[in-house]
Structure formats: structure tokens, C-alpha cells
Structure 1
Amino acid sequence: MYIAGQWCAGAAGRTAPVLNPATGEPVGDVPLAEPSDLDRAADAAADGFAVWRAVPVARRTALLHDAADRLTARADHVGRVMTLEEGKPYAEARGEVLRVADTLRWYAEEARRAYGRIIPSAPGTLLSVRREPVGPVAAFTPWNFPAGSPMRKIAGALAAGCSIVVKASEETPATACEIVRCFDEAGLPPGVLNLVFGDPAEVSARLIASPVTRLVAFTGSVPVGRLLAAAAGAEMKPVLMELGGHAPVIVCADADPVLAARRAAAAKFANAGQVCTSPSRFLVHESVHDAFVAAFAEAADAVVVGDGLEPGVTMGPLANERRLAATAAFVADAAGRGAKIVRGGERQGRRGWFFPPTLLTDVPPDAEILHEEPFGPVAPVVPFTDLDDAVATANSLPYGLAAYGFTRSAATAERLVADLEAGILSINHCGGSVHEAPSGGVKASGHGREGGPEGLDAYLVTKRVSHLLGD
């Protein structure tokens, strides 16, 4: 762990094994925090905030750029570390590292634009609005993007002038350590950035209840998000919640079914489907259904499954045994209710947690996979006749993170934009997150935004100042 500018073990010396998803074998151990460690991290964040908030924005920006440059220079190494502990192919992992370095650069520059304003007022009165850092942040990040999820929160917090305690995933700790090392070597003052690991429930309860922390930022599942939001609410602390989804893909009658299938399949099988915004419900007009399924199956056949460090592999294993069991259960439930398994459907091999690209058709409405996020490489395809019905089906679940639509009609595209309930919408592609634009959900998929100017807003508070001039 990294607390108050020092690398350390937990106070009691407890550890947990870190497993390679491609083999199921240990590759290292992660230290687990005790309550005293968490209190020390919170106290360090309080001290760090007092120092960091007073650092001029130009110096903050320069330091963040330095850290980003260090991370870029180590992209090869950090990418391999990520593949070892999370499983995604090395090319994906290295690309993630380079993207998050750019995310840090973007936030570093956005820090220069945290503008306030002067408001015309009565004579002799200066009325202004100031933007100030909210204070020490408690952040909790998942395993599926070991660099992306922590960096979004670290970059936003540090750019705004906040300090932060990050509880990264115990399953992918080394990537987070590599990121923190770049900040440490760039000269970040002690206590501004702290990294801990431990029992998720214990760590979250301690840090959220701490009188030091002023904001709770979380990326993860809807059930856990509800618990953390409730705990933060009890302390009257604001939250930034980027939660799960169940992204619908609507392929309209006028769409190119082959192009739609290829683009959707590429997004579906990225990171073995372990992406909150992954397309996961495919609603395809009956007139193009068969062509879409054929092209999607062809794309699935082209995926090379294996150890992410092996050349030519385009999809790695699932990240842990829990995901393997859950994915198999979704397929078994759908097949048991009458769905047809067109491709895949069973665990691949007996070493590691591999599950092949899987395509389901004839999926009945009551199948679990149409109601709960699969978070794996399984694509259920359902035909529709009327676009209104497809939109209603897409909006029928409590989630609203991402949605996708394919159509050649500008009018239909605008209709999808207006009617689909999602915080992120892509038309004619399945675009991922970008640092210059906001990402986040509606309904049960959370609130608040990461990325874009809105991403910096989460870490700032607004102060109104009325100054009576003269005696």
C-alpha cells in the first residue's frame, strides 16, 4: 500500500493471493489494510489536502504532466503487469495504459479552466462565484479496468486540488501500484495520493464514515453502489456513482446488418465482455436478423481466445472464477428456456477461466440474460418488428448506462437519441469512453459524470462571495 508518501504493508501483515486468470495460479500477494491503516490514510489525505490545494495550478499541471509522461514511458511494462493479473490481451492492456496517461494530461489542462465568475451587483458590492476543491476523496475502483478506473478518479481529484484515498481492487493491485509509483517519482507531496487494499466492506465503511473524507467516488455494480450511496447519504457526503448497465443495441431495418454485427461483436468481446458499457442485449429487426446473426457468428469465429501474453490472442480469460461460473449459468438458463446456442456456450479448457465468444438466438423474454447484465462474452439476439416495441424493451430495465443504435436514417437516429434512456449513446458504432466528454448513467446506473468538464465538476464545490467594498 502507499500511505503518506511511503510504501507499506498492513499493520497486521495480512495478505491475499493475486491469481493469474489464464492459469488460476498465484502471481503475488496483496497487503490488506487494518482499521488503523485506513485511519492513517485518511489523516494523511487531510494533511495532503492542506498542502495540495495551495499549490498554484501551473505547478499542479506540470507535476501531473510529469506523471503522465512517466506512465507513457512504462506502458509496455505496465501493460504486461495488467495482463498477468486481469487477463486482457497485452495489446488491450498497453492501450489502456496509454489512454489513461492521456486522461491525466487532459485533466491537468482542464484544471486551468475551473473558472468562477463576477456577477453584476449593487454599487459598492463585488459579487463573485468561486470554484474550490471539495476536499479529501474516498474512491473505490473495480478490477475490469485496473488502470482506467483508478486514473479517472485520481486525475479528476488531483487536477481539482483534492487529495484522495483509492481503494483499488485486490484482484488487480499491481497496476494501481505502478500508476501511483509514477506520481511518487514525479514529486507529488506526501498524503495527496494514498492507495489501500483490504476487505471491501470494511474499507468502504471506515473511509466513508471518516470525518476527513468529503466525497465518495465509486465504479462498480448497482447493488454495491446502492450500499455505498446509502452510507454516504447517512454522512451527508456527495457521491459520484458509475454503476453497471445492460446496454441494448437496436439494429433497425435500414441498417447494414453485416457492418452492425462486426462493430457490435468487436465491442462485445473486448475485455471478454467485462465492460460496464459492453453491448449486451441485441434487438435486431426481423428483416435483417438472419444476416446479422450470420455476420456476428463469423466475427465470433475470428476471435482468438488464449493467454493474453501469447502473440495473436484477441480475447483473454474471464478475470476470476466467479465470472466464469456466472457466465456459464446465464447460458445454461437461456438454453434451458429454449434459446439456441449458435456459437460457444461452454467453458474452454480446464486451466484458467476461459469462456469462448458465445452467440444465442431464440432467446425467450424471461431468460435471465435479458434482465441481468452478463458481464461476459455472451450475446443474446432477439428479433423485433416494430421500432416502438424495441425502444420500449430497451428502456424496460432499471439500468441506463449505455445504448447503441444502427440506422441509415438521420430521422431514426434522432428518434433513438430522444427516446433511449441512457447516459451514453452511440449511433452506428459502439464507441468507448473518451476523456474529453462525460460518461455516466441514468436511473439505477448511477449519477454524476466522469470525463469532460463535468468530470472535474464532481471534485469542486461552488462558493458564493459577496464583498461589500469601502468602509
Structure 2
Amino acid sequence: MPLMLKPGTAWSDAYGRCADLAPEAFNDDRVLNHWGGIWHRDGRTTPAVTPVDGTTIAGPPRLDRSAAARAVHAAVDEHRRWRHTPVAERAARVSAALDAMEAHRDLLSLLLVWEIGKPWKLATADVDRCIEGVRWYVDEIARMTDGRVPLAGPVSNIASWNYPMSVLMHAMLVQVLAGNGAIAKTPTDGGLSCLTLATALAVREGLPLTLVSGSGSELSRVLVRGQEIGCVSFVGGRDTGGQVATSLADLGRRHILEQEGLNCWGVWEYSDWATLTGQIRKTYDYAKQRCTAYPRFVVQRSAFDHFLAAYLPAVQGVRFGHPLAVESADDPLPELDFGPLINNAKVKDLADQVDEAISKGGVPLFRGALDDGRFLPGQDISAYMAPVAILTPPRSSPLFHAEPFGPVDTVVLVDTEAELLAAMNASNGALVATISCDDTRTATRLASEVRAFKVGHNTPRSRGDREELFGGFGGSWRGAFVGGELLVRAVTQGPADERLPGNFGNQTLLPA
């Protein structure tokens, strides 16, 4: 039976609901920027299409540098007023904003499906993690800010498109909870309408949020080097993160720069292959478009036959396709591992890397086909990519040393512990890693030499929520670590001689 779009879930349905719910932020023909406590019909709108099926969707209203500077000055004024708001009132207002977001959770989730291609289950999880995570901070904020004061200026947030709610909006709400104004640049590749709706619900409760759109090259000087910015929080790739770090080098400004690393899963003296099969399947969530995805497996050569027998059923079981396609109107939305990649340009770039790696000696272990996906009849599928696995990618390939940010695995075989560690540290620092090993003492010893902030033993690691700390080593992180109390400490001032835990290039201070 041919698939159909679930009734009531079309982009036009989602946008119409936004315009009805928040007409101050959504006009019939465009989305607005928010700064100075007012929604502004400014900026140059640019066309956008969803990666889901090529449908035209709302594009970002891009400000130029001078307009962004006015928005930042207005945010500074808001910050200076807000920082004197009692903590109990801040908590009450943030709680009211969370109540509103929870009431419209399904609409926020549907926007994420259309804008960044998340399957329904993962989209709702993104929204839920934001709401539930910030509620935990509401309960803890009085204790966490005792003896501390807000920063001198607002926090400027520049984040990638993959987690608009659970990373970007979560961070902004904690920042205002701690007494700061918060500025965010809408990710260029997606999340505009979801973030705009969440911002609209929050500013109705009096929260000092600024949301603007524009190109990074145009706005960087204002959002990164602006004289009155109190802290820069960045989530994204190493190239852009390196540019931000360079811009901040002579300012001595508080910063949190989360960058990518090649997260590796090592397999050494291991025998629980059935468990590993289930874990490998989960690594394909959202097509590995996550900062904590595992695209590299480093495997003991003598165990490769067992690994392959565990790996192939996992990758063959992956389900992908149109996140809103159903067989009949009453069917629930499908449970998929992933939908499209963020755009068709990313698919082409990654496919070229795969072809080059194989042409230069990489061995194709698995190549899925788009025919295995769930699609609507005749829909645009140019942003979709089936899973691929390559054994021993050549060192000249980007797939050898960098995160692919797509459904591509690479497998490297090793014979000694020294080779295992060298392969797992190929990118000079990572956010997470895992070692599958039967012996706990051996796993602990190996983990101590892996340059990743979190190393799991027989289990994957993630960014974490609530009290769980997060950071990175080497090139994967610059600045203060976050998570739990560290996130609040990173965006508040403590004693004059305080040293924040973090990775600051020439020194790394670990939390107690």
C-alpha cells in the first residue's frame, strides 16, 4: 500500500497553528526577529526548503551587522534590568514559560520534524529534555546561585541546528534563570520556527530573550566580539569553533565552545556480542547527526569475525524514511531511526567522501539502498542517505580523522593496546568514547588514556541531563565545562580568585 502524509501534519498545518498561537511572531508571509522586548519585521528573508521532502518552509529573516548591533545593545539594556530580579521571581517566570511549552509540545515537535528532519520520537524527546531539564534547574537554582551574581553582560549563543530545544533553548533558559539576558542566533540550517515559537512563549512571561537570524560571517563581530557581551556559548564544528576561539583570544571573555571530535567505540577482549548488536543499532539515531554520535569502531583484529556478525544485523535493521509517512490516516507516526540528513548538499558531500575512501583502498562492509526507506510516492528524496560502513578508510580520507555527521561508520582493526589507543585518539580529543571489554580493570586502564571527556565501559555515553557534567578534551572543547552546577557557574560570577573547570588551551582544570 502506498504511503500518505499523516493528515494534519503538513507544513502548512504547522505554520498555520504557529500564526494562530503567536501572531506577533509569525506573519502570513514570514517569521520575525525578537529583540528589545519587541518582535521586529526586519532583516532580509531568504527561501528555505525542508530536507524531509523539499517543501518550501519559512526561511530566516537575516539581519545585517548594524541591525544585529542594535539588537545586542537592546539585549544589554534588558540584561541590566533583569539581573536585579529576585531569584524566586526568575524561577516563577521560567516555570510559566515551561508550562506554556509543555502545553504546545506536539507543535514544537512537529516543527522540528519539518525543519531538521527528526523522526517524531526523537523530536518529542528533544522538546521533553529541554522542559524536564530546565525544571530541574528551577528547583536547584537558589542553591546554585547562592553567593554568586549574574555576568556583567548577556550570554551570546551560537549553536548548530541539530538540537534547537534540548541544547540551545535549554541553555538560554538556564542563563536567564541565573540572572542573565540571553541572545541566540538562529541556526542557519534549521530550527527557525521551533525556536521562534518557544521564544514567543517565553517572552510572554517576561524573559529577556533575544532571537535573531543572520550569517555567521556577518554577525560574528557583534555576537562574539561585541564589547558588552558577558559570555559566548558556541556549539558546532571545529572549523567555525576555531574561528570563534581566535576572535576571543585577546578579549579574556568567558566562553563555552563545544566542538566536534571523532567519538570512538573500542572493542578489546570482548564477548557479549548480542548486547553490542543492540547498542550499535542505537548509534544510528538521527543518522549520527549528533555531537555524541559514534561513527568509528576500533576493533581487535582477532575478534573481527565476531564483531562483524554482531554489526551487520544491527545496521541491516535500521529504519529510515519520511518521518510523517503512514499507511492510513489513523496510523501512528512511524518509529524510525532517522529521516533525512540536514540537506541534500550534505548527502552529496558525504557520498563523495565515501566513494573516494573506497577508491583509495577502503573496504565497503555494508552499503544500504534508498529502496529500503519509507517514502511517499514521488517525493523528493535527495536529502536521504542509506547507512554505509567502511573497513580501514585511507588516512588521506576525511572519514579517517573527522566526524562525518551522517550515517557512515568506519572500522579500524588493531592488534595491540597501543594501536587501540592511538586509533581512538585519532582526532586529538573527543566528547565521548566507549570501550567494550569483559575485564573491568583492563577497561578502566584503557579508558584513562582515551582523550574523551566521558568514557563508557560496555555502554555508550551521551551529553547528559541535569546534574551530569559535560565537556571535552583536546580540540573538541574550549572554555568552561557545563552540565549540572557547572553550567550555572559558567554563566555567573563567583569569588574573585575562582577558577572554573574547563579546557582552556594551555591548561585543563577538571571538576572535583
User: What does the per-residue CA deviation read over 1:301-327, in whole Å, with 9 as the maximum and x for residues that have no partner?
Assistant: 212211122232331010112321221
Query: 1:314 corresponds to which letter in structure 2?
Result: D
**Could you tell me which of 317, 320, 330 is aligned with 2:353?**
330
**Could you tell me which of 437, 462, 466 is aligned with 2:494?**
462
Residue 235 of structure 1 corresponds to: 251
Residue 144 of structure 2 corresponds to: 114
Distance (whole Å) between structure 2 residues aligned to residue 4 and residue 65 of structure 1: 22
Distance (whole Å) between structure 2 residues aligned to residue 157 and residue 187 of structure 1: 14
Residue 38 of structure 2 corresponds to: 6
Residue 153 of structure 2 corresponds to: 135
Using structure 2 for the length normalisation, give the TM-score.
0.83
User: What does the per-residue CA deviation read over 1:305-362, in whole Å, with 9 as the maximum and x for residues that have no partner?
Assistant: 1112223233101011232122112211221122222322676796331001112224
Residue 170 of structure 1 corresponds to: 188
163-172 or 396-405: bigger deviation: 396-405
Residue 14 of structure 2 corresponds to: none
Q: Secondary structure at the match of 1:186?
A: coil
Residue 181 of structure 1 corresponds to: 200
How far is 1:416 from its partner? 2.9
Residue 277 of structure 1 corresponds to: 292
Aligned pairs for 1:38-437 within 5 A = 38-115=68-145, 130-172=148-190, 173-188=192-207, 192-267=208-283, 269-310=284-325, 311-312=333-334, 313-344=336-367, 351-435=381-465, 436-437=467-468
Contact 1:132 1:463 in 2 (8 A): no
Contact 1:100 1:148 in 2 (8 A): yes
**Could you tell me which of 417, 439, 445 is aligned with 2:470?**
439
How far is 1:227 from its partner? 0.8
Contact 2:265 2:296 in 1 (8 A): yes
Distance (whole Å) between structure 2 residues aligned to residue 134 and residue 385 of structure 1: 54
Using structure 1 for the length normalisation, give the TM-score.
0.90
User: What does the per-residue CA deviation read over 1:41-63, in whole Å, with 9 as the maximum and x for residues that have no partner?
Assistant: 21221111122111111111121
Q: Which runs of 5+ in 2 are unaligned?
A: 1-32, 326-332, 374-379, 498-512
Q: CA 1:326–1:101 in structure 2 vs 1: closer, same or farther (change >3 Å)?
A: same
Contact 1:340 1:362 in 2 (8 A): yes
Q: CA 1:35–1:53 in structure 2 vs 1: closer, same or farther (change >3 Å)?
A: same
Q: Secondary structure at the match of 2:256?
A: strand
Distance (whole Å) between structure 1 residues aligned to residue 435 and residue 47 of structure 2: 42
Distance (whole Å) between structure 2 residues aligned to residue 297 and residue 329 of structure 1: 23
Residue 126 of structure 1 corresponds to: none
User: What does the per-residue CA deviation read over 1:136-169, in whole Å, with 9 as the maximum and x for residues that have no partner?
Assistant: 1111011111222312420331122111110021
How far is 1:209 from its partner? 2.8
How far is 1:111 from its partner? 1.9
Q: Which runs of 5+ in 1 are unaligned?
A: 118-129, 466-471
Distance (whole Å) between structure 1 residues aligned to residue 355 and residue 170 of structure 2: 36
What is the Cα-based RMSD across aligned positions, in Å? 2.1
Contact 1:114 1:131 in 2 (8 A): no
Distance (whole Å) between structure 1 residues aligned to residue 476 and residue 170 of structure 2: 17
User: What does the per-residue CA deviation read over 1:442-470, in whole Å, with 9 as the maximum and x for residues that have no partner?
Assistant: 111113223211111110122449xxxxx
Distance (whole Å) between structure 1 residues aligned to residue 186 and residue 483 of structure 2: 19
Q: Secondary structure at the match of 1:401?
A: strand
How far is 1:365 from its partner? 4.4
Distance (whole Å) between structure 2 residues aligned to residue 324 and residue 382 of structure 1: 23
**Could you tell me the percent identity over the aligned residues?**
27
Contact 1:143 1:169 in 2 (8 A): yes
Contact 1:9 1:32 in 2 (8 A): no
